[in-house]
Structure 1
Amino acid sequence: MPFIGAFLQLSIVELVLGASLISKIVLAILLIGSLLSWTIIFAKWSQFKTAAEANTTFLRAFRKAPNLDAVAVAAEQFNKAPLTGVFDFGYEEVVRQMKSRGQIVNKVALERTLQLGISEELTRLERSMSWLATTATVSPFIGLFGTVLGIINAFQGLGSAGSASLRAVAPGIADALVATAAGLAAAIPAAIAYNVMGHSIKEIGARMEDFALEFLNLTERHFEE
């Protein structure tokens, strides 16, 4: 087929170098978006892996601790664990109530403080995730935009040349389709990473909710003693 033959004769580099200015701008935008997405993917993957490992170690120390003061001392070693952030919120609230009310702890206020700690940690974990969602959603449309403009230019050139053969228009169409391919190449990894990491955030959030209950139980045992 003439179209396929003409496409195979052109490398991707040749297509990009021979593209129009608008097509190059579109490809540059997609490249920047893809590079930022991959940077975020690797950074978040490392963050979640470290958080999961630190959570496991901190939770083991928390369950072995006899009281809150012992946990507070051990928590300094696990500052990368989201559970440590939740614990700090709760422990600070317990200390404030002990100073103002003695041994009486307002359980409702403590539960609210723990929820604030959970919300703070989730916000930190979700940071930069919106960029992945934006890249996954917008990149295909940016690529399609570049493709449409490229096809328009190809047919305008075909009309000016007065030739109706596929061999004449195939290079222009091939050049235009590169933008769509680039858009999909940027969007697919971002979409996969967003869904996988979103599931990881939900798991960590559930773990923090369970930890809040364990914190309340330890608090009750601490004041019963």
Structure 2
Amino acid sequence: MNNVTTAALGATHDMSVLGLFMMADWVVKTVMIGLLLASIIVWAIAFDKYGQLRRAKRDADTFEDEFWKGGSVDELYKRHGEAPTHPLAAVFSAGMGEWRRSTEAGTSPFLVVGTKERVERAMSVTIQREMERIEKRMTFLASTGSAAPFVGLFGTVWGIMNSFTAIAGMQSTNLAVVAPGIAEALLATAIGLVAAIPAVILYNSLSSESAKFAGRLEGFAAEFGAILARQTEAAAQAPRAAAE
């Protein structure tokens, strides 16, 4: 008779995902809600970062097309450098601005000691600052990817503990009694994996894209620094050629 009763009770359990959530202990519910919120935030950050990188690449393409047309860098600085709106323009602005300040420090750029080093340092610092801005909040993805499975496992352990307590109280090991509680507990682990797996994949993908863009900025900085260095050398040789 006892077995029949417990089986009937077990059959009344709603075994859908929503039903398991509603029947779960408040601690397990808190874990599930936290993991679901983390998953939503992960996707929001990922979409924002992909959009940010896409815009930065598009603006960089446009800027490089202008830069390599062979026009005046002073005119380009007036259009983009004084108020840069994207990372590549910011790198250009930092290098050009430092070069101009070095020019104003003496009668010509070559008279300023360490001009090349200061220009390179200014662009390097700007690259670092721009990449920090692009990679901001990406650590949340990495943290979610590593922590979410363990948080879900905590919810599972807590739920199974409650299930065994209920089994002891009902003095029955019938599967209909055991199954709902264990299913509720395992749902927490499943939600943890749902949050963790995309977070890891998205973090690795965004890190790769960010590293490629950082390499692009560094390549531009190296080329632009070489151009400024050649102009500096040309300015240094001009007085000597005139004297001869």
Scaled by the length of structure 1, the TM-score of the pair is 0.91
CA separation of 1:101 and 1:78: change in aligned 2, threshold 3 A: closer
The letter for the 1-side match of 2:180 is: P
| SS at 2:172 equivalent | coil
2:34 maps to what in 1? 29
1:161 maps to what in 2? 170
Structure 1: runs of 5 or more not aligned: none
The structure number with the bigger radius of gyration is 2
Percent identical across equivalent pairs? 37
Shift of 1:218: 2.4
Structure 2: runs of 5 or more not aligned: 1-6, 236-244
Cα distance in 1, alignment partners of residues 129 and 34 from structure 2: 33
Post-superposition Cα deviations, 1:69-91, rounded to whole Å, max 9, x if no partner, equal 12213426994432111111111
Kindly indicate whether residue 45 of structure 2 is the aligned counterpart of residue 40 of structure 1: yes
Question: Are the aligned partners of 2:81 and 2:93 in contact in 1 as well (CA < 8 Å)?
Answer: no
Aligned residues: 221
Q: Which moved more, 1:95-104 or 1:146-155?
A: 95-104
Aligned pairs for 1:61-80 (under 5 A) are 61-75=66-80, 79-80=84-85
92, 101, 110: which one pairs with 2:97? 92
Question: Are the aligned partners of 1:58 and 1:81 in contact in 2 as well (CA < 8 Å)?
Answer: no
2:116 maps to what in 1? 107
Shift of 1:117: 1.2
The letter for the 1-side match of 2:185 is: A
Question: Are the aligned partners of 1:68 and 1:218 in contact in 2 as well (CA < 8 Å)?
Answer: no
The letter for the 2-side match of 1:19 is: A
CA separation of 1:173 and 1:77: change in aligned 2, threshold 3 A: farther
Kindly indicate whether residue 24 of structure 2 is the aligned counterpart of residue 19 of structure 1: yes
| SS at 1:163 equivalent | coil
Scaled by the length of structure 2, the TM-score of the pair is 0.84
Q: Which moved more, 1:177-186 or 1:28-37?
A: 28-37
Question: Are the aligned partners of 1:79 and 1:85 in contact in 2 as well (CA < 8 Å)?
Answer: yes
Q: RMSD over aligned Cα, in angstroms?
A: 2.1
2:4 maps to what in 1? none
172, 175, 189: which one pairs with 1:180? 189
CA separation of 1:133 and 1:162: change in aligned 2, threshold 3 A: same
Cα distance in 2, alignment partners of residues 102 and 65 from structure 1: 26
Question: Are the aligned partners of 2:42 and 2:141 in contact in 1 as well (CA < 8 Å)?
Answer: yes
